Structure 1
Amino acid sequence: MSETRFDRRMLEALVCPVTQGPLTYDADAQELVSKSGGLAFPIRDGIPVMLVSEAREI
């Protein structure tokens, strides 16, 4: 199974859907992390899944 890389330039356009705050990229976990929202959004096949129902609490 090949790993698709996340385009970090996408971070400039994405914000947390809950807080509208900034996101950080966790390359090891393949997640976008919202520290202000306490959520981590998964990245699947190089595509961030920005659904609150898919996020894990941190």
Structure 2
Amino acid sequence: MTDTTEKPNIEIDPRLLEVLVCPVTRRPLTYDRVAQELISPTTGLAFPIRSGVPIMLVDQARKFEPQKG
């Protein structure tokens, strides 16, 4: 039996990652290859990547505890 919740590791074009910024802060994002998310550490939002397409909508982002500092 296979785990159907596992996300495929689809590579994102590095040039795209260079230009994408957080829609809230306009600061750079961190790419989490395993979770297939773009992370905004200052806002505590993780934007999903679905089928290789970053979903940069705040209402679609997952919330997490932002890093201090």
Structures share a fold, TM > 0.5?
Answer: yes
1:41 alignment counterpart: 47
* Bigger strand fraction: 1
Question: Residues 20 and 29 of structure 2 are in contact (CA less than 8 Å); yes or no, is this contact kept in structure 1?
Answer: yes
Aligned residues: 57
The 3 A distance-change label for structure 1 pair 27 and 3 is closer
* TM-aligned CA deviation for residue 5 of structure 1: 2.4
SS of equivalent residue, structure 2 residue 16: helix
* TM-aligned CA deviation for residue 3 of structure 1: 5.2
Identity of aligned residues (%): 60
Which structure 2 segments of 5+ residues have no match? Answer: 1-7, 65-69
Detail structure 1 runs of 4+ shifted over 6 Å in the superposition. none
Q: Supply the distance in 2 between the matched residues of 1:43 and 1:31 (Cα, whole angstroms).
A: 5
Which structure 1 segments of 5+ residues have no match? Answer: none
**1:1-58 counterparts in 2 under 5 A?**
4-58=10-64
Question: Alignment RMSD, CA only?
Answer: 1.3
Q: Which has the larger radius of gyration?
A: 2
Which one has more relative contact order, counting CA pairs under 8 Å at least 6 apart? 1
String of CA shifts for 1:10-31, please: whole Å, max 9, x gaps.
1111100011111010000000
